[in-house]
Chains A and B, each alone.
With several copies, the nearest count.
Chain A
Amino acid sequence: MTTTEIQNSIIEEFNMFDEWLDKYEYIIELGGELSDYDDKDKTKSNLISGCQSRVWLNAEFVDNKVMFNADSDAIITKGIIALLIRIMNNRTPEEILETDLFFLEKIGLKENLSPTRANGLVSMIKQMKTYGLAYKALRDSKK
């Protein structure tokens, strides 16, 4: 599936919920299911500081695909990370760079992406793009 298709299916999933709390309950669920993040990767250089919640992100480049791993101390942030990973993980650098993350607005969770919300998510997305850019350059330089 393309990143757009995944986003559309996320939007569909969220359309099921009428109530705000139900949406958040689902996000919390997703946050709980996010695959384990290795504590040894909770390094300072992987830390994306936000005032409100902290986010850790690391990435590997395998077979021209970027593999992301991320975590947060707040579970709602973690739930949104789970959605972001679902869309962005295991993608080529080009896909990562081209993806426009429209789903958060559509599911009414745009507020979580306000730069001033300081939960670390905006910086995390920036960081994902930066990884995309870096791995692209790395790959191209090896050609």
Chain B
Amino acid sequence: MLDINKIRNDFPILNQKVYGKQLIYLDNGATTQKPNQVIDYVSEFYSTINSNIHRGVHSLSGKSTEEYENARLTIKDYINANSEKEIIFTKGTTEAINLVASSFGEEYINEGDEILVSQTEHHSNIVPWQMLCKRKKAILKVVPVNNNTEIVIEEFKKLLSNKTKLIAISQVSNAFGTIMPINNIIQKAHKVGAYVLVDGAQGVQHFKTDVQYLDCDFYTFSGHKIYAETGIGVLYGKEELLNKMPPYQGGGDMIKTVSFEKTEYADLPLKFEAGTSNYVGAASIAKAIDYINSIGLDNIYEYENDLVNYARKELTKIKGLKIIGSPTNNTSSISFLLNGIHHYDAGMILDKLGIAVRTGTHCAEPAMKRFDITGTIRASFSFYNTKQEVDELCKGILRVKKMFD
């Protein structure tokens, strides 16, 4: 059992009023809030050891570097990568996917090759592949989802062929909270020699991810969605693959030697980390993971699962409310519509009641199109949310309904 009062006290932002009402933050899919353990660490870092990392001979530089490289180790352990060389720091999930689209794409994707994505991907897991396909004259194919927002495995099998070079799929859909059958997909993909990138932006913070067990080729996530700072994220890639890929950006830190005649690139992981890394941000991910571990990821999963089930049940009771999809496996996010009420209107009024939800397309326009809607209201949960907050959400929705009747 989580000590929810203690946990909520760790997150200073939760304890505030919005328009005179207690804040109920249900927009965790967009970004998570930060515990004091992370916020204070960042202050402390800047107040005591900040210095540019790598190659510095002085003491502060050594300390900053140590925090940065230790963060890499913490992350390696958290997702069970084989080596810290496989952990590349990026700006976030979006940059990580772009890096793969650019560098892996350069080396592995050729004219006529096929890349598969699901119909419910986030734009960040669509547009880089569209750009790559355009550049390389490759073909982007779309794996449809059923009415429950689940991948149709039969269709996936049909689309999969030895022309398929890459499958880019989210671990959890950000629009609907659907847990994707990535295990199954990865196994089938590897049978035809295709690689798999898993967009873990909505998975890594909610349940245990083991990249070696999954055997995915790439895995990405964002710091800001796992209780750490904004402006930092992670690309995991299998060492062998990363070694074969050309560098992405050029500049300081990613080189071994530079001359105008010949520049040699550095080894992993630095090869993909051009310029001054966001070392404070990176270290903040480690602190966030420490925090998660102190609660226990399994406990978090259990608590959140229970909470989301409760929310689904309670929301379903509201007349005129329609949840998009009831996937068998789901977590963290629920997308719904209110009969006759525009999602924007609902979101605006909920805000006035202190309830922060996200409305619109959730950066997943094709997914909206699939369900022939212009957007949804999305409530997305974290372990600091409570059933009481779910009740308040339901009450808020009833109030909204009354206003628009």
Contact = CB atoms under 8 A, between A and B. Distances in A.
B329 to A, nearest CB: 29
A76 B360 contact: no
B403 A25 contact: yes
A73 B340 CA distance: 10
Contacts of A52: 55, 57, 343-344, 347, 359-360, 375
A134 interface: no
Interface string A108-143: 000100111111000000000000000000000000
A116 B342 CA distance: 19
Contacts of A53: 342, 344
Given A51-B55, A54-B374, A24 B352 contact: yes
A21 interface: yes
Given A21-B352, A24-B352, A116-B55, A77 B344 contact: yes
Interface string A23-42: 01100100000000000000
Interface string A14-28: 000000110011001
A111 to B, nearest CB: 5
B124 to A, nearest CB: 15
B54 A73 contact: no
Nearest to A23: B352
Interface residues of A, number: 22
B344 A116 contact: no
B327 interface: no
A111 B361 CA distance: 20
A49 B256 CA distance: 9
B372 to A, nearest CB: 14
Contacts of A114: 62, 65-66
A51 B55 CA distance: 7
Interface string B320-359: 0000000000000000000000111101110011000001
A6 interface: no
B62 A28 contact: no
A28 B344 contact: no
Interface in A40-90: 49, 51-54, 73-77
Interface in B172-205: none
Contact of B345 (A21, A49, A76, A116): A76
Contacts of B260: none
Given A21-B349, A24-B352, A111 B62 contact: yes
B257 interface: yes
A114 B65 CA distance: 9
Contacts of B59: 111
Contacts of B256: 49
A51 B360 contact: yes
A74 B54 contact: no
Contact of B342 (A21, A25, A75, A111): A75
Nearest to A52: B344
Interface of A: 20-21, 24-25, 28, 49, 51-54, 73-77, 111, 114-119
17 contacts: A20-B20, A49-B256, A51-B55, A52-B343, A52-B347, A53-B344, A74-B343, A75-B342, A75-B345, A76-B344, A114-B62, A114-B65, A114-B66, A116-B54, A117-B55, A118-B54, A118-B360
Given A24-B403, A53-B342, A117-B62, 7 more contacts: A21-B352, A25-B403, A28-B404, A49-B256, A74-B342, A74-B343, A114-B62
Interface of B: 19-20, 53-55, 57, 59, 62, 65-66, 69, 256-257, 342-345, 347-349, 352-353, 359-361, 374-375, 399, 403-404
